[in-house]
Amino acid sequence: MLSVSRVSALLSALLLLLTSMAVAAKAPKPSKKDQLVTISTSLGDIKMILFDATPQHKANFLKLAESGFYNGTTFHRIIPNFMVQGGDANSKDADPANDGMGQPNEQTIPAEIRPELKHKFGALAAARQGDFVNPQRASSASQFYLVQNHQGTSHLDGQYTVFGQVVSGLDVIDKIATQPKDDRDRPLTDLKMTVKVEKLKKKKITELYGYAY
């Protein structure tokens, strides 16, 4: 005959098993598809994937891209051997002086800084205001940068949210970074972009671009 303590232990184990099964049943199956983002410029196309590990940044970028927000914006700041930056709505107007300043009362995205996501060559990361006014390191709602330094920019790791990676078009980033610019690092010729999003099977993305999920 089982003791009371033995019965209690068996019931606890059964309850734990049933709870685990219920959680597993509710967990969504991983998608076999992903969004491939293409930034088209006069210098060529840049193709990127966005990380599931930074869900708020991924959802925000896809929403803006699919709405057409980025179409007509420019890469307004370029620093060779460092990065190229774009995505400011101000870069659509005729005043180059306000490029990069952002919109008044623009919303931000909470930081999703993860130690495994590094600023390597071709990393996609969110621009933001400095720590002195933004100690939470919240990201700009639209401005982003692409790491152009071939060795990466490891000094930015842990400081800014990395939320994607270029899988094709690294040479285009190099071309953008070497364009003539003024003393504010703004290209002398507007480098306008259009951005589109397409859904592909992850297996196809791996076959085409060598990106391993």
Record the pTM.
0.84
Domain count across the chain: 1
For residue 164, the enclosing domain spans 33-103+110-209
pLDDT score, position 96? 80
Q: What residues have CB less than 8 Å from 112, skipping those under 6 apart?
A: 53, 54, 55, 56, 57, 161, 163
Q: Residue 198 falls within a domain, yes or no?
A: yes
Q: How far apart are CA 70 and CA 118, in angstroms?
A: 25
Q: Is residue 20 part of a domain?
A: no
| Mean pLDDT of the 99-104 span | 73
Report the share of the chain in percent with pLDDT over 70.
Answer: 86
Separation of alpha carbons 78 and 179, rounded Å: 8
Rounded mean pLDDT, 96-106: 75
Round the average pLDDT of the chain to a whole number and report it: 89
Residue 76, pLDDT above cutoff 90: yes
Residue 17 has pLDDT above 80, yes or no: no
Average pLDDT of 150-164? 97
The angle at the Cα of 63, spanning 61 to 66, to the nearest 5 degrees, equals 105
* Number of neighbouring beta carbons within 10 Å of residue 155: 8
165 in a structural domain: yes
What's the confidence (pLDDT) of residue 98? 77
Residue 64 resides in a domain: yes
Q: Is the pLDDT of residue 11 over 80?
A: no
pLDDT at position 29 is 76
Residue 165, pLDDT score: 98
- Which is more confident, 103 or 191? 191
pLDDT at residue 163, rounded to an integer: 98
* CATH label of the domain that carries residue 161: 2.40.100.10
Residue 59 falls inside a structural domain: yes
For residue 27, the model assigns a pLDDT of 59
The answer to whether residue 91 is domain-embedded is: yes
- Tallying the residues shown for the chain, one arrives at 213
Residue 140 lies in a domain: yes
Residue 6, pLDDT above cutoff 70? no
Q: Is residue 24 part of a domain?
A: no
